[in-house]
A and B are shown apart, each in its own frame.
Chain A
Amino acid sequence: MSRGMVLDPTATRDDDNPSPGPEAGVLAGKRVGFRVDRMWRAWDWISELWADKFREAGAQVSFWRSAGRSGEEGVRCEREYKEFLDSIDVAVIGLANCGSCTGWTIRDAITAANTGLPTTAIATRNFEDFAHEIAARGGRSGLRVHVLPYPLNEKRKEDVLPVGEEHFRQVLQTMGASLAVPEPAE
């Protein structure tokens, strides 16, 4: 039996930013942006529910919907997403609820976080580990990820909305956000 040296066939990135990034802080007066997609109606329902609550707290809310990420439409998506990030103060990015959509959710969340925006990705339980793995491989191992139950999109609206209600306080924690009304300036 001979011993010898073999060359390592793998390649990994060495850099990592383990920081979760800045906290969202008091939401009043801030522009909160939701990234949604065309796959998950449950995420549409929950993000709309949370958006209403953010508005009640004095935030402005906008939405951007991810679509095809290749060809001309992909180029348009990239441009629109950049414009969207330029127009908000806090990013909530979802939904990591399948393989490719977790990949794209985390990719878009990393893009947002790398611009310095307080950023939280939203995943369902089954894709939680995967979301963290992809975040680490994308160089942001500390990315904030809030986890919703799984399965989710298979449920009816009347069953999904209570999930959104139940998770609202928790997602605020993950975001490092507060609904407190700021003291008026003297």
Chain B
Amino acid sequence: MTIELIRPGSKPETSESKPLISRDCGPEGCEVDWLASRRHETDLDVDSFNAFAMQQGWGDGLPLVPPTESRVRAFLAQNDRYPDEVIAHLPPTQVECTVEKVVINAVMAGAPPAALELIIAAIASVADTDFELYGVNTTTAPVYPAFVVNGPVRDELDIPYGYGCFGGVATEAVAIGRAVRLVMRNITGQIPGKTSQTTFGSPGRVAGIVVGEWEERSPWAPLAERRAGISGNAVTSFGTMGTMNIIDTTSHSALDFLEMIGKSVAYPGCNCFSGAVPFGEMMIALNPICAEIVGREMPAMEDVQEALWKFASVDADFLNRLHRDQLEQQGRVREDGRVYMTPEPKDMLVFVAGGLGGLHATGLHTFGTSLSQTRAIASPIPAGEAQAAE
């Protein structure tokens, strides 16, 4: 056997989102926007509704906003999508995920209407077969999708990319991430112990991670541009087992920092060294201070990835014998006697985020063979311009 390289599968659709035509139907929504979902009559005060929602199995344990028809219509009216549009078929049911269902869940999560296109792009990205949502949703692992946002939409939606960006900072990004998680529960049916076998789960399974890249402090092109050639608003999804902190109060050169990070993320029990996983990616967030130092010495991102890749490997003899033998049989022990986390340097994904206190990097280990996906976030063309173009 040989090292399996990571190449995208054949895709019927491109990463470009389809053009949206702006429509203004006022706060009541367009008349043609009939809503197909079943109606439930219930008390609408917070306590009663949440007791009802928990009984129905709709929630995540935190309070939900009642998705009344008026709230759903108001949400839709501020956007440019028809409710019956199918965004994706989500496994394991392959059931249709429509705009209407996305909006109902977004309302329950408390997400802002302005975030609909980001939420839709995020859902479309994880629905790509290369993301392997089938495994992500059913596995014993604690995996959940993390979303890295690029473009001006970061500021428009207050997506954090500075202090506390992976969690803890109070912005609507939490509700946006929660909206995606509720879609996973209520549409894909991801329920622990029933359709998800996750052994431990993760706090990230409640609101996920929605983080921006601090593009203005990055010495390199934005992640979405490097990965998919998308300039402007885009989202990159990455199935992660969680966040891992790497502290470094000692290094002062690019290679020193990258050595510390690379060696730290390469631990025997991580996804990339599993004999059950033929290939995997790794994602690393560099803080702006570290990124500036690394970028000064390594202006080419490929050089950063190459260095990280070399350090993110282990001597095969460091692994337990059974594990080493398994990887050896799979051809993953290379001529230098080492096992590398990812097939190639390009599979070490790097972006810049975090507070200006520096000192820490964050590693996000992937799950199985789930491959990160980048999608453009649609923005509407004003109806007048669309007509003029025609």
**How far in angstroms is the closest Cβ of chain B from A144?**
18
The contact of A99 among B8, B105, B138, B330, by CB within 8 Å, is: B138
Let me know if A64 is at the binding interface, CB within 8 A. Answer: no
The contact of A71 among B9, B45, B95, by CB within 8 Å, is: B9
Cβ-defined contact, B43 with A3, below 8 A: yes
**How far in angstroms is the closest Cβ of chain A from B358?**
35
CB-CB under 8 A from A4, the residues of chain B are 41-42, 44, 66, 68
CB-CB under 8 A from B39, the residues of chain A are 5-8
Distance, CA A4 to CA B292, complexed state (A): 55
CB-CB under 8 A from B182, the residues of chain A are 9
Q: Which of A5, A72, A73, A138 has the most CB of B within 10 A?
A: A5
CB-CB under 8 A from A54, the residues of chain B are none
Cβ-defined contact, B278 with A68, below 8 A: yes
**How far in angstroms is the closest Cβ of chain B from A147?**
16
Let me know if A74 is at the binding interface, CB within 8 A. Answer: yes
CB-CB under 8 A from B68, the residues of chain A are 4-7
Let me know if B139 is at the binding interface, CB within 8 A. Answer: yes
Q: How large is the interface on B (under 10, 10 to 19, 20 to 34, 35 or more residues)?
A: 35 or more
Scan residues 91-138 of chain A and give those whose CB is less than 8 A from a CB of chain B: 98-100, 102-104, 106-107, 127, 130, 133-134, 137-138
CB-CB under 8 A from A138, the residues of chain B are 92-94
Distance, CA A106 to CA B94, complexed state (A): 14
Cβ-defined contact, A69 with B135, below 8 A: yes
Cβ-defined contact, B196 with A99, below 8 A: yes
Looking at A10-18, A23-31, A43-51, A157-165, the stretch in contact with chain B turns out to be A10-18
Looking at B203-211, B304-312, B367-375, the stretch in contact with chain A turns out to be B367-375
**How far in angstroms is the closest Cβ of chain A from B66?**
5
Known: A68-B369, A74-B130. A99 touches B141 (CB 8 A): yes
Let me know if B189 is at the binding interface, CB within 8 A. Answer: yes
**How far in angstroms is the closest Cβ of chain B from A63?**
16
- Nearest A residue to B132 by beta-carbon distance? A70
Mark interface residues in B272-304 (1 if CB within 8 Å of A CB, else 0).
000111110000000000000000000000000
Cβ-defined contact, A69 with B10, below 8 A: no
CB-CB under 8 A from B58, the residues of chain A are 9-10
CB-CB under 8 A from B91, the residues of chain A are 103, 107
Known: A75-B9, A99-B138, A138-B93. A11 touches B40 (CB 8 A): no
CB-CB under 8 A from A133, the residues of chain B are 194-195
Mark interface residues in A56-83 (1 if CB within 8 Å of B CB, else 0).
0000000000011111111100000000
Let me know if B159 is at the binding interface, CB within 8 A. Answer: no
Let me know if A185 is at the binding interface, CB within 8 A. Answer: no
**How far in angstroms is the closest Cβ of chain A from B41?**
6
Task: Determine the main DSSP class of B at the interface with A.
Answer: loop
CB-CB under 8 A from A104, the residues of chain B are 134-135
Distance, CA A13 to CA B91, complexed state (A): 11
Distance, CA A2 to CA B45, complexed state (A): 7
- Nearest B residue to A40 by beta-carbon distance? B276
CB-CB under 8 A from B93, the residues of chain A are 11-13, 137-138
Distance, CA A72 to CA B4, complexed state (A): 9
Let me know if B20 is at the binding interface, CB within 8 A. Answer: no
Known: A1-B43, A2-B44, A10-B187. A98 touches B140 (CB 8 A): yes
CB-CB under 8 A from B72, the residues of chain A are 7
Scan residues 133-168 of chain B and give those whose CB is less than 8 A from a CB of chain A: 134-141
**How far in angstroms is the closest Cβ of chain A from B108?**
6
**How far in angstroms is the closest Cβ of chain B from A110?**
10
**How far in angstroms is the closest Cβ of chain A from B20?**
23
Mark interface residues in B71-109 (1 if CB within 8 Å of A CB, else 0).
010000000000000000001111111101100110010
Known: A11-B95, A100-B134. A71 touches B369 (CB 8 A): yes
Distance, CA A4 to CA B66, complexed state (A): 10
Cβ-defined contact, B40 with A68, below 8 A: no
The contact of B95 among A13, A98, A106, by CB within 8 Å, is: A13
**How far in angstroms is the closest Cβ of chain B from A17?**
14
The contact of B92 among A1, A72, A74, A137, by CB within 8 Å, is: A137
Known: A99-B140, A137-B189, A138-B93. A8 touches B369 (CB 8 A): no
CB-CB under 8 A from B4, the residues of chain A are 67-68, 73
- Nearest A residue to B93 by beta-carbon distance? A137
Scan residues 14-69 of chain B and give those whose CB is less than 8 A from a CB of chain A: 35, 37-45, 48-49, 56-58, 66-69
Scan residues 164-204 of chain B and give those whose CB is less than 8 A from a CB of chain A: 182, 186-187, 189, 194-198
**How far in angstroms is the closest Cβ of chain A from B198?**
7
- Nearest A residue to B275 by beta-carbon distance? A38
Cβ-defined contact, A100 with B368, below 8 A: yes
CB-CB under 8 A from A74, the residues of chain B are 9, 129-130, 132, 369
Given contacts A4-B68, A7-B68, A71-B371, 10 further A-B contacts (CB under 8 A): A2-B45, A3-B43, A6-B49, A10-B58, A10-B186, A69-B369, A71-B6, A71-B7, A100-B141, A137-B189
Chain B positions within 8 Å of A, measured between CB atoms, are: 4-10, 35, 37-45, 48-49, 56-58, 66-69, 72, 91-98, 100-101, 104-105, 108, 129-132, 134-141, 182, 186-187, 189, 194-198, 275-279, 330, 368-371
